[in-house]
Structures are given as structure tokens and as C-alpha cells.
Amino acid sequence: MSPKHEKTIFFEALEIESPRAREAFVQGSCQGDPKLLDAVSRLLAEHDRADNPIDHPVVASLPTFDAVTQQVARSIEANHPPGTMVGPYKLMEQIGEGGCGLVFVADQQVPVRRRVALKIIKPGMETRQVIARFEAERQALAMMDHENIARVFDAGVTQTGQPYFVMELVRGVPLNEFCDNHRLDTRQRLELFLSICNAVQHAHQKGIIHRDLKPSNVLVTLQDGRPIAKVIDFGIVKAIGQSLTDKTIYTRLASMIGTPAYMSPEQAEMSNVDVDTRSDIYSLGVLLYELLTGSTPFVVGRLNSVGFDELRRIIREEEPPSPSTRLSTLGNQLSTTVSANRRLEPAKLTSLMRGDLDWIVMKAIDKDRARRYPSAIALAQDVSRFLEGQPVEARPPSTLYRFSKFARRNKVALTTVSLVAGALVLGTVVSLWQARVAYHAMEQARIAAAAAKSSNAELEGFTDRLRRANTLIASGRAYADAGDWSNANEAFTNATQTQPRYFHAWMERGSLYAKMGLWEMAASDYRKALELGSPVDGVQFLGVPQLFDYVGDHAKYEQLAKDLAQSSSGSLGTILRGQLVDQPSAEVSAQLAVLGEQLLEERRLRPDGRPTRTSRIPRGPKLYVAGWAHLRNGDIDRAIERLEESLDEATIWPASGINYPLLAIAYTQAGRSDDAAKAWTLAKQSRDQWLDQSIETQQGTPPIPWFDWIEFLMNYREASLRLTGELPPDDPRLDQLKSLARGAIANSAPDPLPSP
């Protein structure tokens, strides 16, 4: 058994006021060691005895903690019953009890008669350390003179040698109870909090750290109808750069001082890091958190249910939720109660917390004390800025944020600059006072004008970049039409760099890559264009849903196909092809089949009755789309009819060969195996012909419109699976096409820039 170990546990247990909590702590610290438990229990029992242990032998069986508590209570009543005189003070009733002291209401008899609060050391607690701490509190209070700190009137020692001091009797209730009982709104709570910050700042200027700020140590009373907060109980104060008493106060190694829910991480650390005034800033932050939300950052119930080491870990390592987050996660009943106490609806209270108040509170309770407010007055000033609608220091000072605060405070100055100028001229004639008011208004107008000038400059810069981007886009189109892929790519790329948030720059380069068969690069640019939030245009997005589906971006495919279906622009054929490339549901397939027939009739029925363009689409593609829609709907005979009709349009539709994979699928489903084999052969012949043509004469670009080509490749793959049971074998010519296309973009000889 280690004597040092048992003393450490003994000293730590003395800091715990509740007998049951103290007993649980001792049991956990001894970890099943009966000898250690017996030794610590004896020390605690002897410490709490009212009589002198030297005069009596140690009993074999130790009393329980409840018995000890009752014994101490009887001792208190015996030593300090009502009517007892302590110096010139007559004790009336006990109103408080701390770790080592008792607080009484007392009547001063001489030289004046008044009612005071008298604090005296508990009987049996007159150890060197306790007396030193008691005298430190007495000296700390005597040094301070502030309306929000309980004043000390007198001090002395009883005939039995017990130190006491007399202070102002605060007839108040704890801070949080007062605010809730009187249903103070957020502004009133913040104004009350400001007075507490001023009191703590006064203590810090006197070189005193409180170290145990919590609602029960801030009593609030009404004085002339105005709430007055009083900071009390400087029982565990710490002096900065001075000695409060000539007696030694030893803060024990591995001893945690304070109340866990309000304790700063450095207090819980119990390391060589010294505790300074920023520890009180943390506790003030917790007070503010509780005033706003009705709860401490770490819920007290949780802190009381965990072991000592876990308690320290939570305080030192876990990040608490912001006040607005805490409010948004409260249960309905609790949220309603908290909001009612602050005279706001739950949603409005959460909205009020979000922003500046979140920033202020989270800065005050930052784990790193170097990032907290440097002083209590700095915290109070930031709260005052919030109340006055000014930018707070805790929040990152973005230009937009500061401007919004300025605009909110100066709406009239920003909207009536000309009237302000007139008021200035008039004010100089009327009186000097009015001239000062007008001068102030003119200053506000000057600031607004400067901000407007800055905004105009930014707008001019944006317009200039937009103009240059449009010039580059026009040049890129000219190069693309001339087949100069390298210069076209360079022009479009420069456009995206000149104005990165210009929708058309990304769309143009994406279209170039699609024409070259560089599907992944095209999909990347189309994604960027969609992220910029421009309305979906069915004309510009022709073939883009098919491309997303082909490269495997199914989420973008589904969203774009849906947006195109709701778009007021673009042809019906474009919208149908974007939806047919996937496997739609039975209900959607039936709708698409109806729309396919409407496509042939040159009309489209929208839910709002608006007409759309369809007449410019050749009949061949319309028949192809209608046949495809019937195939998806399971109407095989009608699908074959429409697809066969589309073959008759081959002379005016060069891409008619894209029908063959769909015909092969339709013939297979109809049981016409011979016709399916012929269609499949024609599909392979078309594929080989187009691949060879792309390599030999097209610099790797698709020989037919790129959206027709990508649909053909997808339907060719589906037909192969249905007819042969497996995907078509990899064709090296497809990789060769990509290589040729990349080479065309990179290696084309630069020509003089064509005119837009």
C-alpha cells in the first residue's frame, strides 16, 4: 500500500461535497483494494469528526458516509444554533454550505444595525490548508469594490479560533433561475451577462481569478425594478502575481478544482500548465451558452454518469455543439419550454443563435485558450457589438458580412444619398448641431459611395472578362468549323480560364470533346456547366444525357433527363432520346410510346399546353425514336414497323444505320431469328464501316453526329448481350480513335486566328 496513493485519493475526495458522490469516487479510485479502501475511509472519517480524534481511540468499524453527514449536521447545529453571537453578529439561519465553509444570515448589532451574510469555517475543518484558502477568499473579496461583486464589511476570529468574514447579504436567486422565472428575452439576458463580465474583469484587474464561475455563484436580485447580478463565492480563487495570505495554499498534484460542467480544459488537464484569467473566460462562455440555450455545452447528466478519467477526457478533447445546433436538436417539449422562457418561437430562437452568437460563444469556450477572448472586457465588447448590430470580432471579417451589417444600420443613408447631401447644406445654415449630424450622414454616404465604386469596378471587370470569353468562344467555333481541333481547344480552354463561371465556355469545350469522341473529357466539362446553375436548355444539351449514361455517371444522367423533360426548350425527339437510352419503368415507357407517336404527328402535348418545335427533325430520326419508344414499351410489332420505315429514309438520313441494333433486338423478341441475324450482321457492317472511316478520313472523330454514334455504341452493346449472351469483344480501333482525337487536339498546326 502506497501512503502517497492513499493521501492523493483522500485529498481529491475532500473536494467532493456530496457524501454519495464522494463514496462512489473512493470506491472507484481504490479499484477493489480492500486495504487501500479501508485506509482512505479511515482518513475521511477522522477528518469529518466534530471532536478531537487524539482524545479518543480509533474505533474498529467505520461509520457510513450518511452517518458522518448526520454527525456533521448535528455538530453545526450544536456549535452555531440560531441566536449564537459571533463577534457583534447574531446568527439567524444557515443559507449556504460549501466544501469548507458555512454561510449564515446574521444581524449586526453594533456599531450599526443591519442584516448581513456571515461566512465561517465548518467545525472540524480548521486545517492549515482550509484556513489558508478561507483567508484567501476573504482577502480577495476585500480587495474588490464593484457593484456586481458582493462586498466585504468585516472579518474576525471566533473565540474558538474559527476565522469568519462578513459580507453583503444578496437576496437573490441563481442567474439561470432568475432569467427563466422572469422570462427575460435574449437582449435582456445579454445585458445582464455584460454586467457579469464587467465584474469578472474587475476581479482580474485586482489580480484575482475566480475559477468556479457558474449560475449558483451569480445571484440576481431586483433593485428599483432593475436586475442586479452579484458574483459570489470566491472560495477557490487564485492570485496573479501576489500573495493573498501569508499562510501556504497548496494546490495538490492531480487535484481538479472547479465544477466540471463549467471547468476549462486547462483546469481539467491537471498538468504543469498554469491556470490564468482565460480559464474564467471559458466559464463565462459556458454561462452565456446556458443563458441562450438552457443547457451547458456538455450535459450535466452525462458528466455525472461517467468516471473521473472519462470526465476529464470529455472536457479536454470533445468539441461541444454550437448553441444553434444544440437548440435544433432539443426535443419538441424541451424546445418549446426553452423558447417560451425567452419569448420567441423555437425556429426564430435557433435562427437568432445562428451566426454571431454562435461565433461569440464558441470563441469563448475554445479548447485552445490562446484562441479565446484575451479578457472578460473583450468578450463583453463583442456582445455589445452584437446588441448594437455591429460586426463582431469573433466572426471572420468577410467584406460581405461587414457590408451587410453596415447596410442594416444605415438603410436611410444608402437609399437617400442625395437627400443627405441636401441636409448637409441646410444643416450648416441652421445650427452647428445640425451641421454635425449632417457631417456624420455625409461620412456614411461617402463610405457607401466608395463601396458602390468598388462594386462598379468589380462589375466592369466581370463584364470585360465576359466580353473576352465570348470573343474566344467565337474564335473556337470558327476553328472547329475549319477542322482545326487544336486551336479550337486552345480558344475554348482560354475562355474557361478567362471567365471560369461562364456557362457557355464549358458547354462549348464539352461539345468539342464530344464531337471528337473524347467522352470522359466532355462529361467533365458538362458537369462543370451544370454546377454553374444555368437553366437547362434542350437545344444545348442534345445528346448529353446519353453521354453521362455511357460514361457511367447515372446520377447526372437521371437528373439531366428529368430537367430536360420539364424544359420549355428543345425538341421532343431530343427529350425522348435522353430518356430512352436507359431502361425506364413500365409507366414511363408507356408515356414515351405515346410521345413517340406525337413526335410523328409534329406535335407535343405538355402539361401546361405549350407547343414545342418538332418540324425541323427529318422523318427518319422521328421514326427511329418512335420505334425505340415502342420497343421500350414492349409493343414489338409497332416497334418493328416504325424502325423498318426509318430505313426507307436512308437517302436523307446518313445515320440511318443506327437502327440495326434496335431492329436486331426487336426481331429477337418477336421470334424472327433469321431477320434478327440479318439485322445484327448489318449492324456490325455499319460499325466496321464507320470505325474505318473515322480512322482514315476523320482524324478519329465520329463519322456521324456524335450523339447518334454514342447511341449506336450503347444499343450495339445491348443487342450483343441479347443475341449472343455476352458483350461485344474489345475493338482496338476504339482506342485508336481516342488516340487520334487527342493527337488532333494537341498537334494540329496553329493557323492565324479566324474572325469570330
Share of the chain above pLDDT 70, in %: 76
Dihedral over alpha carbons 69, 71, 77, 78 (to 10 degrees): -160
Q: How distant, in Å, are the alpha carbons of 310, 529, 588, 661 from that of 592? A: 62, 28, 6, 20
Mean per-residue pLDDT for 179-191? 91
**Which pLDDT score is estimated for 682?**
92
Residue 469's pLDDT is what?
A: 85
Grid cell at residue 422: 441636401
Residue 299 pLDDT:
87
Burial (CB < 10 A; 0-12, 13-18, 19+), residue 394, is buried
SS3 of 495, please? helix
pTM of this structure: 0.45
At residue 190, the pLDDT reads: 94
Degrees, nearest 5: CA angle 477-481-484:
90
Question: Once rounded to an integer, what is the mean pLDDT over residues 409-420?
Answer: 58
- The pLDDT of residue 392 is above 60: yes
Apex CA 301: angle with CA 298 and CA 307, to 5°? 85
**Mean of pLDDT values over 284-303:** 90
* C-alpha to C-alpha distance for 360 and 397, rounded to whole angstroms: 13
List CB contacts of 441: < 8 A, sequence separation 6 or more. 413, 420, 423, 424
pLDDT recorded at residue 246: 35
H helix intervals, 516-585: 519-531, 544-550, 554-566, 572-580
pLDDT at 241: 43
Question: What is the spatial distance between Cα 603 and Cα 606, in angstroms, rounded to a whole number?
Answer: 10
Sign of the alpha-carbon dihedral angle for 208, 212, 214, 220: negative
Distance CA 338, CA 85 (A): 45
Higher-confidence residue of 584 and 285: namely 285
Q: Tell me what pLDDT residue 398 has.
A: 53
Between 365 and 503, where is the model more confident?
Answer: 365
Provide, rounded to the nearest whole percent, the portion of the chain with pLDDT above 90.
19
- Mention every residue, 6+ apart, whose C-beta is less than 8 A from residue 31: none
158-167, 492-501, 522-531 — which is least confidently predicted?
A: 158-167
Residue 99 has pLDDT above 50, yes or no: yes
What pLDDT shows up at residue 607?
A: 45
Mind listing the pLDDT tens digit for each residue in 441-470? 777 777 776 666 665 556 567 678 888 888
| CA dist., res. 591 & res. 585, Å (int) | 10
Cis peptide before 111 (omega within 30 of 0): yes
Q: What is the pLDDT of residue 191?
A: 94
pLDDT in tens, 214-259: 998 899 988 888 899 999 877 555 544 444 443 333 333 344 567 8
Cα distance from N-terminal residue to C-terminal residue, the chain: 93
If one compares 487 and 532, the residue with the highest pLDDT of the two is 487
Phi, psi of 459 (to 5 degrees): -65, -40
Maximum mean pLDDT: which of 168-177, 263-272, 436-445, 568-577: 168-177
* Per-residue pLDDT, 68: 43
224 counts as catalytic? no
Q: Which 8-state DSSP code applies to residue 383?
A: H
pLDDT of residue 227: 93
Helix axes 65-79 and 34-48, enclosed angle (nearest 10): 10
How large is the average pLDDT for residues 74-81?
60
pLDDT score at 308: 84
* Residue of higher predicted confidence among 466 and 538: 466
**Is the pLDDT assigned to residue 21 strictly greater than 60?**
yes
Alpha-carbon distance 277 to 394, whole Å?
19
Alpha-carbon 684 to chain mean position: 56
- pLDDT on residue 569: 59
- Average pLDDT over the chain, rounded to an integer: 78
Of residues 389 and 540, more confidence is placed in 389
What is the distance between the alpha carbons of residues 394 and 360, in angstroms, rounded to a whole number?
Answer: 5
pLDDT of residue 755: 36
Burial code (b: 16+ CB inside 10 Å, e: under 16) for 593-613 equals bebbebbeeeebeeeeeeebb
Cα 567 from Cα 695, distance rounded (Å): 37
Say which residue, 63 or 17, is predicted with more confidence.
17
Question: What local confidence, expressed as pLDDT, does residue 748 receive?
Answer: 46
User: What is the pLDDT, as a whole number, of residue 602?
Assistant: 56
- Check residue 215 and give its pLDDT: 92
Report the C-alpha dihedral over residues 139, 143, 144, 150, rounded to 10 degrees.
30
User: What pLDDT score was predicted for residue 224?
Assistant: 85
**CA proximity to 516, closest of 754, 189, 756, 742:** 742
pLDDT at position 399 over 60: no
Determine the average pLDDT of the residues in 641-650.
Answer: 82
Q: Which of 313-327, 411-425, 592-606, 612-626 has the highest mean pLDDT?
A: 313-327
**171 pLDDT exceeds 50?**
yes
Collapse the DSSP code of 386 into the 3-class scheme (helix H, G, I; strand E, B; otherwise coil) and give the result. helix
- What average pLDDT does range 472-481 have in this prediction? 87
pLDDT of residue 752: 37
Q: Kindly report, residue by residue over 734-755, the tens digit of the pLDDT.
A: 888 888 888 888 864 344 334 3
Instruction: Specify the pLDDT at position 383.
Output: 93
Q: In which band, very low, low, confident or very high, does the pLDDT at 684 lie, cut at 50, 70 and 90?
A: very high
Q: Exactly one of 48, 212, 356, 553 is catalytic; which is it?
A: 212
Highest mean pLDDT among 61-70, 340-349, 683-692: 683-692
| Cα dihedral 464→468→473→479 (10° resolution) | 170
